[in-house]
Amino acid sequence: MINAYFFLALLSLLIASTSQVLLKMGAQREYSSFLREYLNPFVIGGYGLLMVSMVIAIVCYKGLGYLGTVVMEPISYIMVMILSRIIFKEKVTMPKIVGMVLIIAGIAVFYLLG
């Protein structure tokens, strides 16, 4: 059941993953006050992108249904791992690769056999 909603859901997941990276970037900095810790471009941008992602995901329910949309959510784990590798230079370990393969296999089984 790959259609335009499938690709729209992928876009939503990419936006959500980017928001997680922005939030981590904001968390790694020191702030002079409690208020600045939560009212800075990284946090505001991260939560703004998360809201955009949520709206797109709700639109995707129309074409993919609830189960189809929820099954795609774990792709964000893979996207966050890839973005963390690129931006934060985090290591990709063998357990992470195995997990990534299992996530992709589960999604493939759902869409190809379901």
pLDDT tens for the chain, 114 residues long, are 678 998 999 999 999 999 999 999 999 999 999 899 989 999 999 999 999 999 999 999 888 888 888 888 899 999 999 999 999 999 999 999 999 999 999 988 887 887
**Spatial distance between the Cα atoms of 113 and 90, rounded to a whole number of angstroms:** 35
Would you state the structure tokens that stand for residue 58, as one six-digit string? Answer: 């709700």
Full residue range of the structural domain in which residue 23 is found: 4-113
Could you give the number of structural domains in the chain?
1
Q: What is the pTM of this model?
A: 0.86
List b or e across 87-112, with b for residues whose CB sees 16 or more CB atoms inside 10 angstroms.
Answer: eeeeeeeeeeeeebeebeeebeeeee
β strands within the chain, DSSP E: none
**Spatial distance between the Cα atoms of 27 and 31, rounded to a whole number of angstroms:** 9
